[in-house]
Amino acid sequence: MTAIAWQRRRAAARATWREFASQRGGLVGLIGLAVITVLAVLAPLVTDASGLDVTRVTARPWEPPSASHWLGTDHNGRSVLLLTWWGTRISLVVGLAATVLSVLIGTVVGIAAAHFGGWVSAVLMRFTDFFLVLPSLVLAIALSTVLPRGLGTIVLAIGVTSWPATARLVRAQTLAVEARPFIERARALGGGHGHVIGRHVLPAVLPLVFVNTTLTVASAIVAESTLSFLGLGDPTRVSWGSLLHAANMHGAVSQRAWWFLVPPGLGVVCVVLAFTLCGRALETVLNPRLKGER
Amino acid sequence: MSSLLELRDLSVHYRTARGEVTAVRSVSLGLAAGQTLGLAGESGCGKSTVAMSVLRLLPRTARVEGQVLLDGEDVRGMSWGRLRAVRWAAASVVFQGAMHALNPVHRVGEQIAEPMRLHGVTGSVSALLDQVELPARAARAYPHELSGGQKQRVMIAMALACEPRLVVADEPTTALDVVVQAQVLDVLKRLVSERGIGLVMISHDLSVLASTCDRLAVMRHGQVVEEGPAREVITSPTHPHTQALAAAFPTVGDPASRQVTPSEGAGGPVLLRASDLHVSFGATKAVAGVDLEVRAGEIVALVGQSGSGKTTLARTLLGLRKPTSGRVLFEGRELPRSASGLRAYRRQVQLVLQDPTSALNPRHSVYEAVAEGLRIHRVDGDESARVAEALSQAELRPPELFFPSLPHELSGGQRQRVVIAGALALGPRLLVADEPVASLDASVRGEILALLLRLRRELGLAALVITHDLGLAWTIADRVAVMYRGELVEQGTVEQVLLSPRHDYTRTLLAAVPHAQRSTRPNWTSSP
């Protein structure tokens, strides 16, 4: 009889998609994301990774855009187009991984705090407040200085510092859902914590978590760029933040090498904008209260 | 007799995504000053739409045809400025749900004065409060500091602020319990007779209208199906819909509306027993020393005003809340405290909640809702067969047709049946029903009550029905327990308690029930 449930879920997914597709902003964001993701995945197949190796460059440093190097070259003579293209991969991976980590912590803490109440809630919420009041960038900088440098550290630093807002949001939504009488009915039927959370609370909270995820990705990508720009990223990998860091370090401004500064910056803007557009559209679809205001 | 309000051939259509829906279909009604007109009907019959059209308060999607004459002037033809002048000064509204119609951040005095200020009328807030029997200092209170009945009276004072000649009261007592309802109705009646205003009163409860109105119009599907003097409409209804509505609110003491014979459901072994049960929330005692028994196959009604602790008592009996002291025994054994022990207990005792709309998860289909209990208890066997059986026991037939439906696709009565089916699927011995029909339409109430009775007859299912409605207790219960401030002040058979009450509080409750003075009303006040 799960066939009924699946049929209904498919129908619900179709309806959600139709509503999403009716919003031009969300659609533009989604198409943008799809293009960027495909480019990032295809980078090793379409381009030659040896172009990233400083010892193998042939072009001169600080070359302005030309037919052979569309976006010019950096201080080592590497193609900025190639660097930016490869930078997409790291930015997306870090952004998504950090978001998954942050949303996971936030959801678990939020649901647990609201569901169990009492001292569990008090402890968890004070813990959340502690992270909420710490300046997250400073905390992330501190973490990535202490821990060994690498991709994992950046993900951890961003993930561990950006979850409190999600936790608060999820807690509020869980409290609202748990006040509904069908939760009491489930308890009266004999359902335990696992049943109430798994069958009733989680499905009701997930849409919100989903929206929150897409919006968190955007800020995680910005955070990654910030940390890398400050020189705290993985030095062996190219990311947009580390490109900007390199440009700053080697005097791209004094060289008037705008072609080195603008592409990674625009990359960040495009991805963040695309995620935000998607998130807002999704929010409108899943949160009926916002619909009237359009 | 010049008529204050006259509706001539009024029709209202709403533009919706599915095309135009007609809410009101050529309704013609008249009301003279000093008169009260009752508008009865079930939810969705168009009675509120009629009321709102009087002041042109309908949403933009509404299209109105016909005439609404207020003192001979058509409201539809009025200019915006004229309409503003007429609103509140000539006709005002007591909105449904006083809880939400007052602004929580302003003192009620300011809110009563607001229409006076807007219309440049002079008047005194304390005089208005006096009219609705509230002390003048209530003006300084915020809405949350007042009780439901007091808020409703503030709404009435607000409606009277500009001395209108017509007041439209939309379900003015729906959220109130019997004693408070009687007080509010008395205020309205007195105002009509003293000040000669015209009152249009809307309600789904015929007995409320019967006790206040001169004339009564019964609406169904946007049309007036019966209209006439209130007494006549109630005592000898001609239209079947009116008969159904009248039957849904039985008179206590009327043998015709009693649906149990005294021999039924008596003498079974004691199923559930509470002894000296106390439940406190901090300093407040919600349940203070209750002894109650429910026997196998017996229907017990637990009656009381809101705030009397009856819901807390029910939760405690179900093991959803721990008692502060005292014991709950099921078949002579104390309620288990462990999670697994309580889970086993839940197969025996099930809960039916007041509002089926919120008691069902809107994302779960009927099948999932009914199968939920089976899955929790890992009941072996053919799940879909059990679900089908429970649904047909709850009279949803054929059950397979309802499997994929979502709650919002069902009517209120069908939803309550799904909740009951979900409880029945576990094969319980006792149902605890918390106001099982309070949120249902009149014609559906009877069906759900009949279902409870049939389940008792066929499955031997005992029930503890919690209600504020004495008529309901009279219809289906074997025994009644009256709860007041956390204590059971009186219990016994229905006939004993409701026909010759011993405790003052029971008498107060009975006196507050609005009645139509139908036929065989026993004179219980003269009994000792």
Residue B448 within any structural domain of the chain: no
- Please state the rounded mean pLDDT for residues B496-513: 87
- Based on the fold, state whether residues B111 and B237 are members of the same structural domain: yes
Q: Answer with the one of B248, B282, B317 that is the final residue of a domain.
A: B248
Residue B527: per-residue pLDDT: 37
CB B7 within 8 Å of CB B67 = yes
Q: Is A10 on the interface with B (CB under 8 A)?
A: no
Cβ-based contacts of A200 with chain B (< 8 Å)? 361
Contact state of A1 with B404 under an 8 Å Cβ cutoff = no
Residue A122 is predicted with a pLDDT of 93
- What percent of chain A stands above pLDDT 90? 24
Quote the CA–CA distance of B393 and B426 in Å, as a whole number: 12
Residue B346 and residue A200: Cβ atoms within 8 Å? no
What is the residue whose two structure tokens read 């059950």?
A: B399
pLDDT at B352 over 80: yes
Would you state the structure tokens that stand for residue B473, as one six-digit string? 């207790």
Q: A184 and B353: CB-CB below 8 Å? A: yes
Predicted local confidence at residue B266, as pLDDT: 57
pLDDT of amino acid A113: 94
State which residue of chain A sits closest to B425, comparing Cα positions: A189
My answer on whether B311 and B240 are in the same domain is no
With CB atoms and an 8 Å threshold, state whether A189 touches B372. Answer: yes
As a whole-number percent, the residues of chain A with pLDDT over 70 amount to 96
What's the CA gap between B429 and B419, in Å, rounded?
16
- Mean pLDDT, residues A145-171 taken together: 88
Residue of chain A nearest B423, judged by CA positions: A189
Does the structure show a pLDDT above 50 at B109?
A: yes
Q: How many CB atoms lie within 10 A of CB B253?
A: 22
Within 10 Å of residue B502's Cβ, how many Cβ atoms? 14
Question: What's the gap in Å between the CA of A117 and the closest CA on chain B?
Answer: 15
Q: Which two tokens stand for residue B371?
A: 């199968």
| pLDDT bracket for residue B267 (50, 70, 90) | low
Q: In this model, does residue A259 exceed pLDDT 90? A: no
Amino acid identity of A182? F
B264: pLDDT confidence band, cut at 50, 70 and 90? low
- Residue B176 sits in the same domain as residue B113: yes
Helix residue spans in B161-203 (DSSP H): 178-195
**Using the beta-carbon criterion (under 8 Å), do B372 and A199 form an inter-chain contact?**
yes
Least confident among A190-204, A218-232, A235-249, B88-102: B88-102
- End-to-end CA distance of chain B: give it in Å, rounded: 47
Touching B: A residues 193-232, CB under 8 Å: 195, 199-200, 203-204
Higher model confidence: residue A111 or residue B513? A111
Name the residue among A122, A157, A152 with its Cα closest to residue A136. A157
> Is residue B273 domain-resident?
yes
- B320–A195: do the CB atoms touch at under 8 Å? no
Quick one: pLDDT band at residue B515, thresholds 50, 70, 90?
A: low
pLDDT band at A288 (very low <50, low <70, confident <90, very high): low
Residue A120: predicted pLDDT: 92
**Do B318 and B200 share a structural domain?**
no
Q: Is B299 helix (H, G, I), strand (E, B) or coil?
A: strand
Over residues A276-282, the mean pLDDT reads 87
Last residue of a domain, one of B216, B248, B280: B248
Q: Are A105 and A163 in contact (CB under 8 A)?
A: yes
Which chain A residues are Cβ-neighbours of B426 within 8 angstroms?
Answer: 189-190
Rounded-to-integer distance, Cα B284 and Cα B486, Å: 10
Taking the C-alpha atoms of residue B481 and residue B205, their distance in angstroms, rounded to an integer, is 24
In a domain? residue B326? yes
Q: Which of A108-112, A129-133, A188-192, B90-94 has the highest mean pLDDT?
A: A108-112
Length of chain A equals: 294
pLDDT of A227 over the 60 cut: yes
Chosen for mutation from A189, A196, A200 (greatest number of chain B CBs closer than 10 Å) is A189
CATH number reported for the structural domain that contains residue B302 in this entry: 3.40.50.300
Model confidence pLDDT, tens digit, residues A100-127: 999 999 999 999 999 998 899 999 999 9
User: What integer pLDDT is reported at residue A2 of this predicted model?
Assistant: 63
Residue B520, pLDDT above cutoff 50: no
- Examine the domain organization and report whether B244 and B297 are in the same domain: no
Asked if A8 lies within 8 A of B404 by C-beta distance, the reply is: yes
**Whether B217 and B284 share a structural domain:** no
Under an 8 A CB cutoff, do B353 and A192 touch?
Answer: no
Q: Which of A172-176, B72-76, B192-196 has the highest mean pLDDT?
A: A172-176
Confidence of residue A287 (pLDDT cuts 50, 70, 90): low
- Does residue B420 fall inside a structural domain? no
> What confidence tier does A68 reach under pLDDT thresholds 50, 70, 90?
confident
Looking at the complex, report in whole angstroms how far the Cα of residue A182 sits from the nearest Cα belonging to chain B: 4
Beta bridge partners of B219: B224
B524 within some domain: yes
pLDDT of residue A34: 93
pLDDT beyond 70 at B151? yes
Any idea which of B56-65, B113-122, B255-264, B451-460 has the lowest mean pLDDT? B255-264
Chain-chain contact of A8 with B365 (C-beta, under 8 angstroms): yes
Burial class (CB in 10 A: 0-12, 13-18, 19+), A130: exposed
Q: Which A residues 92-151 touch B at CB under 8 Å?
A: none
Tell me which chain A residues have a C-beta less than 8 angstroms from the C-beta of B405.
none
Average pLDDT, chain B: 84
Distance from CA of A233 to the nearest CA of B (A): 44
- Residues on chain B touching A8 (C-beta within 8 angstroms): 365, 404, 406
Q: Scanning every residue of chain B, which has its alpha carbon at the shortest distance from the alpha carbon of A196? A: B376
Q: Hey, is the C-beta of A152 within 8 angstroms of any chain B C-beta?
A: no
Residue finishing a domain among B195, B216, B248: B248
Residues B97 and B195 in one domain: yes
Which two structure tokens, joined as six digits, stand for A104?
């996971």
Separation of alpha carbons B457 and B440, rounded Å: 23
Contact between chains at B359 and A185 (C-beta distance less than 8 A):
yes
- On whether both B236 and B308 belong to a single domain, the answer is no
Distance from CA of A266 to the nearest CA of B (A): 42
**Residue B42 resides in a domain:** yes
Instruction: With CB atoms and an 8 Å threshold, state whether A189 touches B406.
Output: no
Q: Which residues of A touch B358 (CB under 8 A)?
A: 180-182
The amino acid occupying position B401 is: L
Distance (Å) from the C-alpha of residue A96 to the closest C-alpha of chain B?
Answer: 29
Assess whether B166 and B242 both reside in one domain: yes
B336: closest CA of chain A, how far (Å)? 13
CB contact under 8 A, A189 and B368: no
B-chain residue closest to A195, CA distance: B376
Chain B interface residues (partner A, CB cutoff 8 A)? 318, 320, 339, 342-343, 346-347, 350-351, 353-355, 358-361, 363, 365, 367-368, 371-373, 376-377, 383-384, 387, 403-404, 406, 419, 422-423, 426
A60 contact B CB<8A: no
Domains, chain A, with CATH or none: 17-48+75-293 (1.10.3720.10)
Residues B182 and B150 in one domain: yes
Partner residue opposite B320 with nearest CB, options A181, A188, A192: A188
The C-alpha atoms of residue B395 and residue B411 are separated, in whole angstroms, by 14
pLDDT at position B524: 41
The pLDDT tens digits for B51-79 are: 888 888 888 888 888 888 888 888 888 88
CB contact under 8 A, B347 and A190: yes
Residue B294 has pLDDT above 50, yes or no: yes
Interface predicted TM-score of the whole assembly (ipTM), two decimals: 0.75
Helix (H) or strand (E) holding B7: strand B3-16
What number is the average pLDDT over the span B301-312? Answer: 85
Q: What is the pLDDT of residue B99?
A: 66
- Confidence at residue B518, expressed as pLDDT on a 0 to 100 scale: 45
Residues B216 and B330 in one domain: no
Structure tokens at B404: 């994929």
Nearest to B361 among A1, A5, A200 (CB): A200
* Nearest Cα residue in chain B from A9: B363
Q: Number of structural domains, chain B?
A: 2
Domain that holds residue B299: 268-348+431-441+464-528
Phi, psi of B68, deg, nearest 5: -120, 100
Residues B222-238: pLDDT tens digits? Answer: 889 988 888 888 888 88
How far B168 CA sits from the closest chain A CA (Å)? 30
CB pairs under 8 A between A and B: 73
Q: Are strands B3-16 and B19-32 parallel, antiparallel or unpaired?
A: antiparallel
Whether A185 sits inside 8 A of B339 (CB atoms) is no
The residue ranking higher by pLDDT, A162 or A294, is A162
To the nearest whole number, what is the mean pLDDT of chain A? 85
Look at residue B411 and tell me if it is in a domain. Answer: no
pLDDT for residue A294: 37
Query: Are residues B94 and B240 located together in one domain of the fold?
Result: yes
Q: A252 is written with which tokens?
A: 């791209």
User: Which residues, numbered 162 to 181 in chain A, qualify as contacts with chain B under a Cβ-Cβ cut-off of 8 Å?
Assistant: 180-181
Whether residues B353 and A7 touch (CB distance < 8 A) is answered with no
The answer to whether position B13 is within a domain reads: no
B21 SS3 class: strand
Per the model's pLDDT, the better-predicted residue between A161 and B257 turns out to be A161
Residue A31 has pLDDT above 90, yes or no: yes
Nearest residue on chain B to A2, alpha-carbon basis: B368
Q: Name the strand (E) or helix (H) holding B345.
A: helix B339-346
Please judge whether A182 and B350 are an interchain contact, meaning their C-beta atoms are less than 8 angstroms apart: no
Using a CB-CB cut-off of 8 Å, the residues of chain B touching A190 are 342-343, 346-347, 373, 376-377, 426
Q: What is the nearest CA distance from B364 to chain A, expressed in angstroms?
A: 8
- Decide if B119 contacts B90 (C-beta within 8 A): no
